[in-house]
Structure 1
Amino acid sequence: MLHLVDNKLSFSSIAIAGIGGAGCNMVQRHRHGVLYRVQMQVQHLAVNTDRSAIVRIQGMPAILLNADASGVEAVMPWLAQCKALYLLAGLGGYAGSTATPALARRARDAGLHTVAVMGMPCDWEGRRRRTTALRALESVREHAAETFVVHGDAVAERLGEGASIGEFIKGINSWLLRELDARMAL
């Protein structure tokens, strides 16, 4: 069952959708930083299959998809006046790997310029997550006008062996958000 947590529609020319746990965290972080830097209207959205994660979202529309990540059409009314959609997601997790390709396809079909900025799991996270992420990435590349990928192993290598998991997450999120801002030419 689909639920819109925030029922107010606001329209802008650019939307940024954070998908899944990693994407929702990044879009919240981006929203707080971008408010003071941007002259144009930017609509931030959080999209997830996890009800408890969606309930914690504040200050932006939060859209809960079905458990199987179907129902991305519920996002489309939020994009009605948009010309561009930027997708932020970590691939390999459930919502990021299923909803990101579906939303990229829907956005392309709606005529939106779609850019995906995504994180890939580290090798140590396992073959299943890596395979899931690679399948999702292939599908997103078919539908998005531009894709940018940050590989978890590259972030881990930059940080060094002594980095904590918290430092790793902060590092990959920061890298993805810098790439998002560069693509938006902020």
Structure 2
Amino acid sequence: MDDTRDIKVIGIGGCGCNVVNRILDTGGIGSPDAAKETLSLDLEHEANHDIHFIAMNTNQHALGSSLADTRIFLGGEGIVEQPSPMDVKRFVKDGAEEIRQAITGAGMVILIAGMGGGTGTGATPAVARIARELGILTLGFVTTPFSFEGKKRIEEAERGVRELAGTVDTLVVIPNDKLFESANPNTSIQDAFHVSDEVVRLGVRTVMDTFLTSGSVNLALKDVDKIVRAEGIAYIENPLVLG
């Protein structure tokens, strides 16, 4: 692992890009630059740290609304409507050099995605492999579908989680159904997705803050472990660095 504390936070697909936007525009912060300044308020004594946000998507229109520093379109010359995970793996392979350049020099890469759709399920393990090949500590924060999203999407998500668990150092999995079970009975579907995004945002923000202030991966993951396990809303795969 690189000894720098630089973090590359990568939102993949609709869910991942939404969470990145939430991190950058939470609580009236107002702009990506202001958000990153807020994240670093107590870090002025640290000369060797930076946070860089990257959005990756197969949907060019959605990518255009991202607040991330870097936007990477996953796709070829022709537009593929609702690409499958296999389509997206090919897109990542075709764009591998651009992805390598975007994450080179990081001490930690945090991948954020929703499992079950083509983009998150296909791209996230492929991007994780690139990060691991570069020797970068790689963490994943992913959600799995609500039951009402259908059996096919749930099965695709399960395959995606299994594959991703083998390509990242540590994986935090947040089953959306668990969140729905603990939500208000009157919670709308849209609000349920917002709650899911917020739980992921909180976990990612905790890792960033702790890692940048302490430089300790173990401490960062112990902090997020407390948060996601507190209500039984998540589980951790490969907790190898928790100590």
What TM-score do you get using the length of structure 2 for normalisation? 0.68
Mapped partners of 1:58, 1:145: distance in 2:
27
Aligned 1:38-117 pairs, distance under 5 A: 38=40, 39=43, 40-58=49-67, 60-66=69-75, 67=80, 68-69=87-88, 70-71=91-92, 72-73=95-96, 74-117=98-141
Aligned equivalent of 2:191:
167
Letter in 1 for 2:142: M
Q: Which has the larger radius of gyration?
A: 2
Two-structure CA RMSD over aligned residues (Å): 1.8
Mapped partners of 1:79, 1:107: distance in 2:
7
Aligned equivalent of 2:39:
37
Deviations 1:109-128 (A, max 9, x none): 11110000001001221111
5+ residue gaps, structure 1, are 1-11
Alignment size in residue pairs: 176
Larger strand fraction of residues: 1
Matched residue of 2:25: which SS? helix
Quote the offset at 1:90 in angstroms: 0.7
Quote the offset at 1:47 in angstroms: 0.3
Quote the offset at 1:26 in angstroms: 0.5
Mapped partners of 2:170, 2:13: distance in 1:
20
Deviations 1:103-162 (A, max 9, x none): 111111111100000010012211110111111111110010000011110111111321
8 A contact 2:54–2:68 mirrored in 1:
no
Aligned equivalent of 1:23:
16
8 A contact 2:125–2:164 mirrored in 1:
yes
8 A contact 1:117–1:176 mirrored in 2:
yes
5+ residue gaps, structure 2, are 27-34, 44-48, 81-86, 211-243
What TM-score do you get using the length of structure 1 for normalisation? 0.88
User: Are positions 1:130 and 2:154 aligned together?
Assistant: yes
8 A contact 1:105–1:140 mirrored in 2:
no
| Identical positions, percent | 26
Letter in 2 for 1:20: G
8 A contact 1:101–1:140 mirrored in 2:
yes
